Every structure is written in C-alpha cells, then in structure tokens.
Chains A and B, each alone.
Chain A
Amino acid sequence: MNTATTTANGHSVGHDDHGHHPTGLMRWITTTNHKDIGTMYLWFSFAMFLVGGCMALTIRSELFQPGLQIVRPEFFNQLTTLHGLIMVFGAIMPAFVGFANWMLPLQIGASDMAFGRMNNLSFWLLPPAALLLTTSLFVPGGAAAAGWTLYPPLTIQLGMGMDMAIFAIHILGISSIMGSINIITTIFNLRAPGMTLMKMPLFCWTWLVTAFLIIAVMPVFAGAVTMLLTDRHFGTSFFSAAGGGDPVLYQHIFWFFGHPEVYIVIIPGFGIVSHVISTFSRKPLFGYASMVYAVAAIGILSFTVWAHHMYTTGMPVTAQLYFMYATMFIAVPTGVKIFNWTATMWRGSLSFETPMLFAIGFIFLFTIGGFSGLVLAMAAVDVQMQDTYYVVAHFHYTMVAGALFSAFAGAYYWLPKWTGHMYNEKLGQLHFWLTFIFFNMTFFVQHFLGLAGMPRRIPDYAVQFTDFNQISTIGAFGLGLSQLLFLYVVITCIKGGPKAPAKPWEGAEGLEWDVPSPAPYHTWEVQPIVK
C-alpha cells in the first residue's frame, strides 16, 4: 500500500511528500491517488459516451427514412454492436467506478483506496481496450457485427474484428474485477471507527453489492468469449451442433453474465439517487435498512432469471414458467425502492436543483422501464416483443434514464466537492430539461414500433414504421447535442464560478461534506470518528 498513512497526531508520512510529487503528465500516468484516478475514469467514460453516441447517431440517421442511405448493412451491424459494447463497458461502468474512486474514501473516512497501484493499473487497462474496440472498425472485415450479445454461430463467421472485441472484453473484465476487489477491500477494511456496515452511506452499500456481482459474473463472460475464440480458431465446437455442441448453450452462459450485468450498471445509481433525494428533501432517507435489503435481494435474484432473455429459443414450458415467476418477483424489491424514495420526499422541504431534477427524472423514467420489464417478463407476451424495438425502448429506459440520469445526478451533486466551484445552475437545469424531453422523444415512440412488429438491429424497415422512426431520430440528435451543454457546464465549473462551501447543499449528510471544497489532494489524514 503506497498511500499516505497517518499517525495519530496527523503527520503525514509516505511517498507523496510534496517534494517528490510527480507533476504534469507523469502525475496522471503514475498516480495512485483515488481522486486523480476517479477523475480519469470520469473523463474516459464521458469520452466513450461521446464515441458511442456518435455511433448511435449514425445508426439513427440511417433509420431516419426507409431505404439504405448512409451506411451499408454490414457496417450498420458493426455500429450497433460497438455502440452497445462501448456504452455498457466504456461509458456506464467506468463512470460509476469513477464515482466510487472519488467518493468511497471520502464517504467512509479513508485516506485512499486500499490498493493504489492496482487502482492505477485498472484504469490504464481501459484505454487499450477502447482502442481495440474502436480501431476494429478499420481492420479487414470490420468490427464484430453480431450485436453486443455476440451470439454464435454468427460470431464464428466474422473476421479479425471479432478477435479484437474478444481481447478487449478480456481486458475490460480484468480491469473491472481488479476495481471490484479494491472497492470491497476498501469498504471492509478502511472504514472510520464507528462506521458500522449499517451506518454506511447507501452509495457504499450499492457499490459493495455491485462489486460482488462483477467478481461473480465477469469471469463467466470471459469464459464465454474464450470458448468463442477456441471455436473460431482451434477447432473446438462448444457452440456448433455439427461438432456436438449447442448454440443455445452460449446464450445461457452469456445471459448468466448478462442479466446481472444490467443490474451492475444500475445498482450504483440507486445509491446516488438515494443521497440526492434525501438531501434535497431535507429529510433522512426513508427505510434505510429496507433499501439495503432490497439492493441485496435484487443482486441475488439477478442470478436466477437469465433465461427470460431466451423465451423464444424453445425451452421447455416448465423452464419458461419458472423464469417468468422469478423475473416478476424482482419487481417487489424494486418497487420497495421506488416507494421508499417517494416516502422520502413526502412531507419534506423540497428544492429542485439540477441533481434533484435528474434524480426525480430517474425515478419517473426508470419506473416506466420497470413496467415495460414487467410486460416483457410475461413469457407469452414477450414472444411478441423479443428482439423488436420494444426491447430497445425498454433497455434504454433502464440504462439511459436509469444509469445515465443517476450518473448525471451524481455528477452535479458532487461537482462542487470535486472542483471547489458551483456549476451554473441555470445551464444545469436546462441540460436536464433538454435531456429529459429529447430522451422521451427518442425512446418512447420505440415502444410503438416494437408493438407493431419492427425488429431491432435492422438497417432498413417497412414504410409503416417511418413516422415514429423520424421522431426518434430527431430526438436522438437533440439528446446527443444536449450533452455538449453538459461538457460546457463542467468545463466552466472547473475553470471558475462561485466558490463552493464545504457543504453546498443544505440538507446533505455524510462525511464527504466535512472536508473542504475542493476536496484536498489528501484527505482524512486524521481518521474521523463516527458516533
């Protein structure tokens, strides 16, 4: 452990006495400081968000009208695949790891993450993986073109872009497993005296559950793509019936990873939203304990429902029924969380700064996503919806309105702590409203497209789907452009703006508000004590 350790009287000892502190570029490359690493994660994730967003806009441009106008079908498939992979693994997951790096030590009163060097490594694994994914567009045969789910036997047909994607997934997996080990160790070992697990801020709890999920399922995914790799190059036939394998086996393995994965991208957001709602309601979170149990229950249940993505593969009717019941049951703990947030706002003293707007937007839209999930859970109905635009709408309501909105809520909430300045509140609110309106314009109409039978992952469609596709495309451009406003707000906030006090939000609770804003490079040299 290379972080500064603190003696009882507060003197700092360790490698980072100010004299030998690397500056300039080397500061970032070699840093073991959780705040530097958190910042790098956040910037990386935003950059990837823009890259994946440009791909989405290209897809949507092609879909503005029926007919092929802008891209060829095979390139279209490459774009959908990379858009999905990049958004999930490059944008959302790193964003939350960035939040974890920045905030966990501050929230639990630790001076840094448990393993500084490993922390540095887990960040620096990301850029090569991102490079592999994006440059695969330009190799012979192009990028992987089988959707982010990478189902064989289609993936067996693809060119070297597919191998690059597999390699990238291995690297990303290693990175997130190391990150998770770091988070778990930090939470278990470095909490301030007096901070019992049940006193821990909810964001720490949600990350604790998430980190366990990551450690449990990333190796599963790595295994699945490794089997793909050997099927492609070394003559095995795990997924080929001709050689005694089974293409559906891949789907089972993939979704055993993939379903918990969709909770991995949302659970940390639950934590952030809980803080924000309670802060701006000026009331303690309602049902802290049941929140913790609900998150844990959702985490555990997420392992038991994977085949609800596979109702049309022809599994036995008993299996279909089991997966349907289990899936519907997840609605109960999810409902408990929504009710708790509502009760937190009830009879509070509410104000609506940008983080609060994003948090309320989150609850509202995520609930819609939850309802469409309930519709999809009914196996008989899912047969109509599976692989149509209804599913695209559903998962964007959970991943964009869920994960992304909570990430924005968190970003605005903690920006003063990170930068020492207040962001421009007016522009922040404008960013929210633009995002909210254009988001619904983009994705709400896709429910209708799916109900009417438009399959997903198609570059061209029948004319009766035209109108809603045009609305969706216009919305997507609005949504994409609005994010540049966010970039502007963040940059101006870093550069200046009104000085932020240590605790800029009246109702905020928690150790992170005891340190000055911006949080000094080394905090908690004297461990705080929690009563």
Chain B
Amino acid sequence: MLTQIANAAYQVNFQEPATKLAQTVYDLHMMMMYVCGAIFVGVFGVMFYSIVRHRKAPGRVAATFHENTTVEILWTVIPTIILLFIVWPVTKTVVAMRDATSADITIKATGYQWKWGYDYIKGEGEGIKFKSVLSTPREQIEGKAPKGEHYLLEVDNHVVVPVGKKIRILTTAEDVIHSWFVPAFAVKQDAIPGFIRDTSFRAEREGTFRGQCAELCGKDHGFMPIVVDVVSADKYSDWVAEQKTKMAAVADDPAKVWTMDELKTRGESVYAQNCAACHQPTGKGLPPAFPALDGSKIATGPKEGHLDRVLNGKAGTAMAAFGKQLSDVEIAAVVTYERNAWGNKVGDMVQPSEVKALRQ
C-alpha cells in the first residue's frame, strides 16, 4: 500500500501550478536555480581546480599574493548587477500577488484550533457558510488501519470555487495564528486573530487542490488541511443551489423544545467535530493540558458553570470560547451530551432557549 502511493513521491519541485501567478513563481524559482547553479559551478570550479592542482607536493611553493583591488571591486560589482537583473521580474510578481482587488467572489477563511471555517461573503454563493474539518479517520493516524490515498489531506467540506474567476480570500482567526496555504495556487496568507488579511487566486484549470495550515497553531497543527475544488461555472451554480437548500433544511427552529435523545444525538456529532480533538472521543482528555470531561467537576456540576465554560472558554488556555463558533442549538446539544455521556450521569438537559438567554 505504502510503496504503491509512494511511487508518485519523488517530487523535487513545486506542485504543478494551477494559476498564472503560481506559474510565474515557478519560473522565478527556476531562473534563480540557473543563476545560482552557474555561480556555483564557477566558484567551485575554481576551488576544485585548486584542490586538485595546487595541493601540497614536493617542490610546490605557495604563491604569496594576498590582495588585488581590481578583482575585489569586480566581484563586488558583478553580483550587484546580477541582483539588479533578478530584482525586476520579482518586483512585478510581488506587486501582482498583493493585488486582491476586483474579485468575483470573496470568501472569508477563519482559522480555529483545529479546523477552518468558511463564509462566502460576496459574489455568487453569498451566504454559504460551513466548517471544514479533517476527515481522515483516527485509526489511520494511529496506524490501526491502512492509510488512504489522501491521508491527512482530506476534509468533510471542500471549498468550492468556479474556474477562471478571481477569488479573494480574507483570512482571520479566532484563537491563535494559522496560515491558509494552497501550494498549487502559490497562496499562503497568515490568519491572525483580531485582524483581517487578504490574498487572491484565479485558478486556470479544474481539479482538487490540497494544502495545509502553515503556521504552528498548537497540538493539531499537522491536522488542519485545506481542500479546494475548482469546478466549471455550471457545476459551481449547482453546488451553490445545493448548499442553499441544505442550509435551509438544517436551519434549526429556535422555538423548538428538544428531547433528551435528540439533544444527545446532535450533541455527539458536535462533540466529535469540535471537542474531541482535545478532550478525546472518550472524554478522558490529555491531562493536564486538556482536562478530562468524564467525571469533571464542571461537567457534573451546576449547568450554568458548564454552559459558561463552553460559551466563553478559559483565557490563557486552548479552551476556546465556542459561543462565537456554535449556534444555540449546538451548544445546548453538546452540553447536554457531555453531562450524560461516558460516566457522567447528571440526567439534566439544556434547551437552546437557555443558551440564548445566557448570551444576552
């Protein structure tokens, strides 16, 4: 299995570019390799000539020269001129790269520990929002199952964009710095909490492109991939329509009173997506950094305390304020689940209306 996939592995250069800019970057890199290669051969050619021909031998007398103003000036000036030639095309590329204006579609990418959230905020598809979480099963990571083809580079919800359109990505983060990195687009932009930055790309061909978070963001930094599907304009419109219906279908009725079982089932999936990374599916956590919920004082104590911790997080730790990420229903469900899962048998439940009241 491993070797089969590894056949494609001897990749010694950038991934195949999918945008014009990525192609330019590729070319710049190659140009620099040629320049460096030439200088390298020149300098080390001279040095190895010395090593071979000027080695110590009977009768060999070392020369005694130790300066020569002309050559010293020459080898200061010539590299400077070479650099000036290189700088020009790079400057043009940098300027082009930083231009994210007049985009067709604007998407906000928010980094969380450890998943991405996407909001389509302008252009076709406006209003679509979803979270995108690693979908590689735990067993593969722990080596209990064979690794799939896109091991660690697969997520539950792909970002979908139309081919040939300029896509502007706004990046920000909720907790720590992350970085939105898709190599085939030559795009990498830090997502900084409290700030919004932007970058853009225009994909030239359809396909699925995969990247990963590129800024150390804590424990699961290696487990927050980015997957972008570039599709035709028609397919994109279909996808938008489909998303809209899906969102309408799952939209929760805020007035509904939920049953215990409904809350627990919903809560379990919310837990798996948002909480299990740290507190583990078993609720045992990874103490002391990530406390156990199974039997924890907060999860078995008064529900106000429990709700407060989930809504507002705990400053100075990796416990995020989920109030901003999750809806009232999701919070009610996950709290109910935590209070009644594993060894926790509190028996009470939280209704969305209680969460709503607390938020005020």
Residues of A within 8 A of B188 (CB): 312, 383-384, 386-387
B328 within 8 A of A: no
CB-based A-B contact count at 8 angstroms: 305
For the complex, what is the distance from the CA of A331 to the CA of B87, rounded to whole Å?
A: 13
For the complex, what is the distance from the CA of A335 to the CA of B76, rounded to whole Å?
A: 8
- The answer to whether A459 and B5 have CB atoms under 8 Å apart is no
B residues whose Cβ falls under 8 Å from a Cβ of A: 2, 5-6, 8-15, 24-25, 28-29, 32-33, 36, 39-40, 43-44, 46-47, 50-51, 54-57, 60-68, 71-72, 75-76, 79-80, 83, 86-87, 90-91, 93-95, 97-98, 140-143, 147, 149-153, 171, 175-177, 179, 181, 183, 186-190, 192-195, 197-199, 211-223, 286, 288-289, 316-318
- The answer to whether B25 and A383 have CB atoms under 8 Å apart is yes
Q: A66-B152, A339-B43, A349-B61 in contact; A380/B90 too (CB < 8 A)?
A: yes
Residues of A within 8 A of B318 (CB): 157
- The answer to whether B28 and A378 have CB atoms under 8 Å apart is yes
Task: Classify the secondary structure of B's interface with A.
Answer: mixed
For the complex, what is the distance from the CA of A147 to the CA of B79, rounded to whole Å?
A: 35
Over the window 157-195 of chain A, the binary record of Cβ atoms lying under 8 Å from chain B Cβ atoms (1 yes, 0 no) is: 101000000000000000000000000000000000000
Residues of B within 8 A of A157 (CB): 175-176, 218, 316-318
Chain A residue with Cβ nearest B153: A462
Can you list 22 contacts pairing A with B, beta carbon distance less than 8 Å?
A77-B216, A141-B288, A154-B217, A154-B218, A157-B175, A157-B218, A246-B194, A248-B192, A283-B64, A289-B67, A290-B72, A339-B75, A342-B47, A347-B50, A349-B55, A375-B36, A380-B94, A381-B32, A384-B29, A457-B216, A461-B222, A464-B6
A425 within 8 A of B: no
In the A-B complex, the 4 residue pairs with the smallest Cβ-Cβ separation, listed nearest first, are: A241-B194, A458-B222, A314-B197, A453-B183
Binds B, one of A30-38, A48-56, A359-367, A488-496: A359-367
Tally of A interface residues using CB under 8 Å: 100
Residues of B within 8 A of A266 (CB): none
User: Per a CB cutoff under 8 Å, which of A314, A348, A462 touches B152?
Assistant: A462
For the complex, what is the distance from the CA of A248 to the CA of B94, rounded to whole Å?
A: 21
For the complex, what is the distance from the CA of A248 to the CA of B318, rounded to whole Å?
A: 19
A468 within 8 A of B: yes
A478 within 8 A of B: no
Residues of A within 8 A of B316 (CB): 156-157, 232
Tell me how far the C-beta of A450 lies from the nearest C-beta in chain B, rounded to whole angstroms. 10
A400 within 8 A of B: no
For the complex, what is the distance from the CA of A352 to the CA of B50, rounded to whole Å?
A: 12
Residues of A within 8 A of B223 (CB): 73, 460
For the complex, what is the distance from the CA of A320 to the CA of B187, rounded to whole Å?
A: 16
Tell me how far the C-beta of A142 lies from the nearest C-beta in chain B, rounded to whole angstroms. 7
For the complex, what is the distance from the CA of A331 to the CA of B75, rounded to whole Å?
A: 12
For the complex, what is the distance from the CA of A380 to the CA of B14, rounded to whole Å?
A: 13
- The answer to whether A159 and B87 have CB atoms under 8 Å apart is no
For the complex, what is the distance from the CA of A114 to the CA of B67, rounded to whole Å?
A: 34
Chain B residue with Cβ nearest A338: B43
- The answer to whether A325 and B43 have CB atoms under 8 Å apart is no
For the complex, what is the distance from the CA of A33 to the CA of B306, rounded to whole Å?
A: 63
- The answer to whether B193 and A69 have CB atoms under 8 Å apart is no
Sample of 7 more A-B contacts, CB < 8 Å, known A157-B316, A247-B193, A312-B214: A159-B289, A283-B65, A324-B87, A331-B79, A346-B46, A383-B187, A451-B11
Residues of B within 8 A of A288 (CB): 66-67
Residues of B within 8 A of A20 (CB): none
For the complex, what is the distance from the CA of A68 to the CA of B142, rounded to whole Å?
A: 5
CB-CB contacts below 8 Å: A399-445 with B: none
For the complex, what is the distance from the CA of A285 to the CA of B44, rounded to whole Å?
A: 18
- The answer to whether B213 and A455 have CB atoms under 8 Å apart is yes
User: Per a CB cutoff under 8 Å, which of B2, B13, B39, B79 touches A466?
Assistant: B2
Residues of B within 8 A of A154 (CB): 176-177, 216-218
- The answer to whether B56 and A351 have CB atoms under 8 Å apart is yes
Chain A residue with Cβ nearest B192: A247
User: Per a CB cutoff under 8 Å, which of A74, A285, A290, A331 touches B83?
Assistant: A331
- The answer to whether B76 and A464 have CB atoms under 8 Å apart is no
Chain A residue with Cβ nearest B149: A463
Residues of A within 8 A of B64 (CB): 283-284
For the complex, what is the distance from the CA of A460 to the CA of B134, rounded to whole Å?
A: 13
- The answer to whether B44 and A364 have CB atoms under 8 Å apart is yes
Residues of A within 8 A of B151 (CB): 66, 462-463
For the complex, what is the distance from the CA of A290 to the CA of B15, rounded to whole Å?
A: 42
Over the window 127-159 of chain A, the binary record of Cβ atoms lying under 8 Å from chain B Cβ atoms (1 yes, 0 no) is: 000000000000011100111000101101101
Chain A residue with Cβ nearest B187: A383
Residues of B within 8 A of A67 (CB): 140-143, 147
Tell me how far the C-beta of A528 lies from the nearest C-beta in chain B, rounded to whole angstroms. 23
- The answer to whether B176 and A332 have CB atoms under 8 Å apart is no
Residues of A within 8 A of B79 (CB): 331-332, 335
Tell me how far the C-beta of B293 lies from the nearest C-beta in chain A, rounded to whole angstroms. 18
A374 within 8 A of B: yes
Chain B residue with Cβ nearest A466: B6
CB-CB contacts below 8 Å: A286-323 with B: 286-290, 312-314, 317, 320-321
A61 within 8 A of B: no
Residues of B within 8 A of A368 (CB): 40
Residues of B within 8 A of A380 (CB): 24-25, 28, 90, 93-94, 97, 186
User: Per a CB cutoff under 8 Å, which of A346, A460, A463 touches B50?
Assistant: A346
Residues of B within 8 A of A464 (CB): 5-6, 8-9, 11
- The answer to whether B75 and A379 have CB atoms under 8 Å apart is no
For the complex, what is the distance from the CA of A343 to the CA of B68, rounded to whole Å?
A: 10
